[in-house]
Amino acid sequence: MRGFGFVRRLRRGGIQTVAVAAVLSVGLLAGCDDGGGAAPAPKGSAAGKAAPRKAPVWNTAPKSLAAVGDSITRGFDACTVLSDCPEASWATGTDPAVRSLAVRLLGKDAAGKRSWNFASTGARMADLPEQMERAAAESPELVTVLVGANDACRASVSAMTPVEEFRTDFEESLRTLRAERPKAQVYVASVPDLKRLWSQGRGSEMSRQVWKLGICPAMLAEPEAVDAKSAERRDTVHERVVAYNEALAEVCAKDRRCRYDDDAVFDYRFGTGQLSPWDFFHPSRDGQSRLAELAFRAVTAEQRDERG
């Protein structure tokens, strides 16, 4: 960002219908033995065998990972000012202080060999289909998505990406992946709460100076202004981010191998310790680590509402 569910199968034995002429006068007893329980199925009968358990749709231990998105996934401003730091990426980084999702899932030795970072600083949702195509070429078992902040972080409110255009580009991105990798899993992180990031950083003179270089002007322009017009501008950006997250959730819900984070990133209360010491807007190493933890929880959760 420059500018930044399972159904248990019942093991059913066959129900043996017992029809005895001596009891016909008092009624037909079906499926009961002398003790009142279900009568056992004949040994070796098909009815006595448990149905085979269906493999889960979601694999909680993928063996490879590709990341797409914007400057957050590139680790922008995590190590040095106005520079990418992919080694600190929450998704694929190798920095031991971060313990990226790739390290947590694959181990530190394998993370550098079986994870790929195709995110790009400044990327918007319109850039995602091309990133997905590059990711699909590596045959990853999991693809992580974190993008959308730059769609809101435009020069003005009127320049923000319309919600339906945002939705359409995300749908195209998933179709692009599915055309090549129909069984790849997708973890989708919500767009962060940009208004909260503004509130955390506006008191820093350094951050205000860096923000003037063009970081998220729709939200961060005139950061100290509290007049009605400035408040309305920030509220409009905030509402657009909420709408983007709703679109992400709705599109992801239609794909049986897609998991949305249920607004976990949006709801996370980034403090100054989790934000870059240079711009108080992008995640610091600690912030990147928190993003990795949120992603790991979502990816490794056993019970979700995926359709089998």
| Domains, the chain, with CATH or none | 12-52 (no CATH), 65-300 (3.40.50.1110)
What confidence tens digit (pLDDT) does each residue in 111-149 have? 989 999 999 999 999 999 999 999 999 999 999 999 999
Sign of the Cα pseudo-torsion (170, 258, 147, 204, in order): positive
What confidence tens digit (pLDDT) does each residue in 246-304 have? 999 999 999 999 999 999 999 999 999 999 999 999 999 999 999 999 999 999 998 65
Residue 50 pLDDT grade (very low, low, confident, very high; cuts 50, 70, 90): low
Residue 34 pLDDT grade (very low, low, confident, very high; cuts 50, 70, 90): very low
The CB density around residue 22, as the number of other CB atoms within 10 Å, is 6
Q: How far apart are CA 185 and CA 111, in angstroms?
A: 17
CA atoms within 13 A on the CB side of 153: 30
Read off the pLDDT of each residue in 218-228 and give the average, rounded to a whole number: 95
What confidence tens digit (pLDDT) does each residue in 76-98 have? 999 999 999 999 999 999 999 99
- Per-residue model confidence (pLDDT) at position 206: 87
- Per-residue model confidence (pLDDT) at position 52: 60
- Per-residue model confidence (pLDDT) at position 203: 87
Residue 207 pLDDT grade (very low, low, confident, very high; cuts 50, 70, 90): confident
CB 164 within 8 A of CB 206: no
What string of DSSP letters covers 115-150? EEE---TT--GGGHHHHHHHHHTT--SEEEEE--HH
Q: How far apart are CA 38 and CA 150, in angstroms?
A: 63
- Per-residue model confidence (pLDDT) at position 133: 98
Q: How far apart are CA 153 and CA 259, in angstroms?
A: 25
Tokens of 72: 């957050």
Q: Mapping DSSP to helix (H, G, I), strand (E, B) and coil, where does residue 182 land?
A: coil
The CB density around residue 232, as the number of other CB atoms within 10 Å, is 11
Selection from 146, 186, 152 nearest residue 287 by Cα = 146
Run of H or E including 102: helix 101-106
In this prediction the pTM is 0.82
Q: Mapping DSSP to helix (H, G, I), strand (E, B) and coil, where does residue 168 land?
A: helix
- Per-residue model confidence (pLDDT) at position 53: 59
- Per-residue model confidence (pLDDT) at position 10: 32
Q: Mapping DSSP to helix (H, G, I), strand (E, B) and coil, where does residue 294 land?
A: helix
Selection from 68, 78, 74 nearest residue 86 by Cα = 74
What confidence tens digit (pLDDT) does each residue in 189-204 have? 999 999 999 999 998 8
For the chain, give percent helix, strand, coil, nearest 5.
40, 5, 50
